[in-house]
Amino acid sequence: MNLITRVLLCACFASSLPTLAQSTGGRAAITQERATTMSLPHRLQPLFKRTKAICFTRFVIEVPASAKVVYGRMTVDTEVSRYAGQAAELDGRIEEYMRENMRRESAGTASPDAVLDDRAGKRLPGEMPGLTHLLSKSGLARYHLHSFFVLGDDIYLMEGLGIFEEDLPRKFNMHEEVARQLRARKDNEIPSGEGICIDGAIADRRSTYENIQLGIRLAEFPDVHFSIESRKNLNYVKPQQDFLDRYASSERMARAHGQGKWYDRIKFFSRESRTVLEWNGQQVLARVPALPGSHDRHEFNFYSVGAANDPFHPEVDIELDTGLKDNKKGARAPSLTDAEALALWDKLLGSIKIRPVAAPVDAKPVVTLGMVSSAGPCPQAGWWKCLDADQDDGRTEVKGGQLRYFRDGGAMPQAILQSRSGWSRLFGEGKTFQMAQPSQWQLIDRRWCARPLQPGSAQLSDARDMVVGGAAADLAEVTLAPGATCACGSPSPASGWWGCKDAGAVEPVRWFAQGETTPDIRYRVHLHWWQRLAGQPAVVARKTAWQLLRVDERNVPIALTETKLAGDQ
């Protein structure tokens, strides 16, 4: 909606709010009745003889079968764009982005001395098959991350812009997880499982950020545009009154600028509270008079602030405009009469429903923040804090850092502790050791809520960070992708090259045959002269975990430069 027009419409609505609040029940009931009982005008009836359901986020809307659906901005924790049918053009699209990166660098708009320069501007293969990352410099020690994911015949582009270096691992992980959760769907497919419908796909996840922009174009009335923007709130929800208060003085401003007579000619059909589905909001329906060089037009708007952290009660902004040409408002006369525009508005809003979802199977219990878990399989993806060092009054620290990110099912290792005595601080690295009892890890930040398993989704091939242990007889049924982990001392679940991402490993990459018992990982430790004189060993063995780099039945050496471990984002 044109900003000036929207200001004026909302101001009129604001002035009538006290009356609306007193009569919400009666007038809203009339509006709802009109949406369900009013017969369509003659010219609109052919449009709705054949309809199709369009899925957006967690909702569906019925539109004419001839309508064209246009998607705008989409967010599933990160910005996502679809390039339909362009999977074969992946290389060309990546090269296009690389050329743009080179252009910016040559123009001096990118940082010339960033730490990650050796990775910037290069294609980085993702852990997920079909995923390619492209890291570029944006200047001022920030980076852009573009991740290209081939799904069927389409390319999905995930974008992270202006990222600080310390946030890059989290962004890499996020793009990997989003790609892992995307499942292709046909344009007319309404999925029955949990997840978020986006253009051509469904994301099987509960996201922190969910946003979609959807446009409907009618072939029979090309000047009519209907649009929906749905955005999930976090903890903060705008006051509904803000929709009105922002423009409370707009009528006075219009008259002060000599637009008083034009303002008086605005024809309001409705300025009232309305409930669409379960969304309580307000609507302003008006016919806006022409300005010099333009035509009059319809501008309808419904807005609801939604609720906090509730994907089924998002912030919703719905608009219908007539008289558009080349996306310019008032560029042509509206093709709909007032009655037709009102009927179309009610018909479309009345068709919005919550997408039916099948009952979950074997729902996984939700892990709460603050929960403490022993070393072993991770019960919840997120950031975990090792508590082992807290039990020693600060005299020890966790080698490699006290905070670690683990995926659901990934291996939470037995922590390696390091002495922090004054003597060791003075002369360098202290003695390392492990506690006799299992390490304790506390969840401090959940990356996303645990989702129930849907029928057919609990496949071992999707368990990329599974800690594998048990009889070798069970291994034949296990299919693993790169990134899976195997605890030291357990049989290797697959023949291939396995690596250790911890610094100081003597053999960071080794090949194991399926069923072969994986050894403890040996680490080289720094010894001072007095430690060497005392005969202290320079290599120690620790029970941590091996991570699958590449499934390979043959013991063919793998170049260290080709390895890519989860966490080395």
- Residue 172 near residue 569, CB atoms below 8 Å: yes
What pLDDT, on the 0 to 100 scale, is given for residue 478?
Answer: 42
Query: Which pairs with CB-CB distance under 8 Å and at least 24 residues apart come from 245-251?
Result: 245/14, 246/7, 246/10, 247/6, 247/7, 247/8, 247/10, 247/11, 247/14, 248/11, 248/14, 248/15, 249/11, 250/7, 250/8, 250/10, 250/11, 251/8, 251/11, 251/12, 251/15
Looking up tokens 């601080």, which residue turns up?
Answer: 425
Give the residue-averaged pLDDT of 262-287.
91
Q: Any idea what the Cα angle at residue 502 is, between residues 560 and 166, rounded to 5°?
A: 95
**pLDDT top residue among 426 and 256:** 256
Tell me the percentage of the chain whose pLDDT exceeds 70.
Answer: 72
* Mean pLDDT estimate for the chain: 77
pLDDT at 470: 32
Distance CA 516, CA 495 (A): 9
Pairwise pLDDT comparison (99 vs 226), residue with the higher score: 226
Instruction: Compute φ and ψ for 139, nearest 5 degrees.
Output: 95, 160
Q: How many residues does the chain have?
A: 569
Residues near 117 by beta carbon (within 8 Å), at least 6 away in sequence: 137
Give 385-440 pLDDT, tens digit per residue: 888 877 666 678 887 778 888 877 777 888 888 876 655 545 555 677 887 788 88
Structure tokens at 478: 């296990």
pLDDT at 527: 60
pLDDT band at residue 248 using 50, 70 and 90 as cut-offs: low
Q: Are 259 and 7 in contact (CB under 8 A)?
A: no
pLDDT at position 303 = 94
Residues 6+ away with beta carbon under 8 Å from 314: 57, 210, 230, 231, 232, 233, 306
- 525 contacts 416 by C-beta, under 8 angstroms: no
Question: So what's the pLDDT on residue 299?
Answer: 94
Q: Do 554 and 501 contact (CB within 8 A), yes or no?
A: no
274 pLDDT higher than 50: yes
What is the C-alpha separation between 505 and 508, in angstroms, rounded? 5
Which residue has better confidence, 427 or 35?
A: 427
Q: How large is the average pLDDT for residues 374-378?
A: 84
Closest CA to 499 of 428, 560, 542, 436: 560
E strands in 424-553: 432-433, 440-446, 467-468, 485-487, 496-499, 509-512, 521-524, 539-542, 545-551
Q: What is the pLDDT of residue 113?
A: 42
Please list, in sequence order, all residues whose beta carbon lies within 8 angstroms of the beta carbon of residue 491, skipping any fewer than 6 positions away.
Answer: 468, 469, 470, 471, 472, 475, 514, 515, 516, 517, 518
Tell me how far apart the alpha carbons of residues 250 and 237 are, in angstroms, rounded to a whole number. Answer: 24
Per-residue pLDDT, averaged over 29-43, amounts to 58
pLDDT of residue 375: 85
Among 32, 20, 23, 21, smallest CA distance to 352 is for 32
Whether the CB-CB separation of 103 and 95 falls below 8 Å is answered with no
40-57 pLDDT, tens digit each: 999 999 999 999 999 999
Region of 105 please: left (phi>0), alpha (psi -120 to 50) or beta: alpha
Backbone angles phi, psi at 54, to 5 degrees: -110, 130
Tens-place pLDDT, residues 529-554? 555 666 666 677 777 788 887 777 65
- The one-letter code for the residue type at 303 is Y
Q: What is the mean pLDDT of residues 557-569?
A: 42
**pLDDT given for residue 547 in this prediction:** 82
Mean pLDDT of 457-480: 35
pLDDT at 384 exceeding the cut of 80: yes
Q: What would the mean pLDDT of 95-114 be, rounded to a whole number? A: 65
Residue partners of 535: CB distance under 8 A and separation at least 6: none
Q: Specify whether the backbone of 293 is left (phi greater than 0), alpha (psi in -120 to 50) or beta.
A: left
- The 3-state DSSP class for residue 80 equals strand
Rounded CA-CA distance 179/36 in Å is: 40
Whether the per-residue pLDDT at 209 is higher than 70: the answer is: yes
Q: Which among 123, 82, 115, 121 is positioned nearest to 100, based on CA atoms?
A: 121
Using the 8-state DSSP alphabet, how is residue 560 labeled? G
485-487 and 467-468 strand pairing: parallel
Give tens-digit pLDDT for 13-23.
433 333 333 33
Pull the structure tokens for residue 97: 């982005």
Residue 462, pLDDT > 70, answer no
Q: What is the mean pLDDT of residues 246-268?
A: 79
* Residue tagged 């008006």 (tokens): 286
Predicted pLDDT at 139: 67
Q: Give pLDDT tens digits for 490-505.
A: 888 888 888 876 656 7
